[in-house]
Amino acid sequence: MLRLLNIEFIKLWNNRSSKVLILAYFILLTSIALIAAIKFDIGPIQFHLAEQGIFDFPYIWHFNTYVAGTLKFFLAIVIVSMMANEYSNKTIKQNLIDGLSKKEFIASKFITVSAFALISTLFVFIITLILGLSFSDNTEAYHVFSDTEYLLAFFVKLVGFFSICLFLGILVKRSAFALGFLFVWYVIEKIAYGLIRWEISATQDNWENITRFFPLESMSNLIKEPATRLGAAKELAKQVGEEFNFDYAVHWYEIVIVLAWTSLFIYWSYKLLKKRDL
């Protein structure tokens, strides 16, 4: 396994654009901490985001994993191109001729994206811990470490999303087209989501039972948007006579759905590689 990771590391780290994107991603991830510095001080209106409770344990786990999740597109570019470049440089052919099995080839890619996800999760864990400990009113161990299932959800979400990227890279073989395809897929899912919601919610309220199985939707479902959970947002809603009552929790079946998609995408990637002549 280390050998496969090492092989992939040599390929990635010597590619300047991959290196820059990976570094940019981790720098941006770290810069979540800068949100703490958002501070308006315009005469009577004083606003300091860090004091609005977004850095309170355990809410901070939810908030940070959600924000960090939006940065995954940086790595998506790296992952799609690390797959597609193997085709355009025909190095995949040479790798196989040199004695890498097709299974090992897919495994090396999957291990690499899992490593990306794991390192990201560790990053988010450490940053969140530091931010929370410096800004949260509540630093008892019980509060600090509750809701950490968001970290697990974050990890699973990244692995799932990266697996789609790998699959698209193999399927389309051109990085730009694969990314375009990913976007088109996203749009199609959103349209289907809208249609289903519109059609079904009129009669019954269980449209989510269908949409939660969509691959991209299932991944974004893992960590729901945290803004409406914030005290300030709830206050605001109350003033206009609304009350937010969403379910923010990470459910086990949501994780299972994403894991199922992950295994399917990896399996399909392998099948595709096996079936194709190079």
Partner 1 sequence: METILSISNLTKKYGSLTAVNNLSFTIQKGNVYGILGPNGSGKSTTLGITLNVVNETSGSFNWFNGQTSTHLALKKVGAIIERPNFYPYMSAYKNLKLVCKIKDISEDKIDEKLELVGLLDRKNSKFKTFSLGMKQRLAIASALLNDPEILILDEPTNGLDPQGIHQIRALIKDIASQGTTILLASHLLDEVEKVCSHVVVLRKGHKLYEGPVDQMISSNGFFELKSDDNQALLNYLASHPNIKDTKVLDGLVTAFLEAPMSASAFNKELIHNGIVLSHLVLRKESLEEQFLQLTDNLNDAN
Rounded CA-CA distance 170/228 in Å is 38
Q: Of 51, 104, 189, 208, which lies in the binding site for partner 1, with binding defined by CB under 8 A?
A: 104
Two tokens at 177? 């087209």
Among 64, 65, 81, 95, binds partner 1 (CB under 8 A): 95
Among 35, 51, 53, 102, binds partner 1 (CB under 8 A): 102
Supply the DSSP symbol for 206.
-
Q: Is 115 in the site for partner 1 (CB under 8 A)?
A: no
Neighbours of 262 (CB within 10 A): 24
Q: Is 271 in the site for partner 1 (CB under 8 A)?
A: no
Q: Is 269 in the site for partner 1 (CB under 8 A)?
A: no
> In angstroms, rounded to a whole number, what is the distance separating the alpha carbons of residues 267 and 261?
10
Question: What secondary structure, in 3-state letters, does 65-100 show?
Answer: HHHHHCCHHHHHHHHHHHHHHHHHCCHHHHHHHCCC
The secondary structure of residue 58, as a DSSP letter, is T
* Closest C-alpha among 83, 88, 74, 61 to residue 169: 83
Task: Report the first-to-last Cα separation within the chain, whole angstroms.
Answer: 25
Q: How many chain residues bind partner 1 (CB under 8 A)?
A: 26
Minimum distance between the CB of residue 278 and partner 1, rounded to whole angstroms? 4
**Contact call for residue 228 and partner 1 (CB under 8 A):** no
Stretch that binds partner 1, among 33-41, 49-57, 63-71, 93-101 (CB under 8 A): 93-101
Should residue 99 be labelled a site residue for partner 1 when binding is judged by CB under 8 A?
A: yes
- Residue 113 CA to residue 196 CA, distance in Å, equals 33
Q: Which is nearer to partner 1, 90 or 238 (CB)?
A: 90
Interacting positions 15-44 with partner 1 (CB under 8 A): 15-16
Find the part of the chain contacting partner 1 (CB under 8 A) among 90-98, 120-128, 178-186, 217-225: 90-98
- The site for partner 1 (CB under 8 A) is made up of 3, 6-7, 10-11, 14-16, 89-91, 93-102, 104, 274-275, 277-278
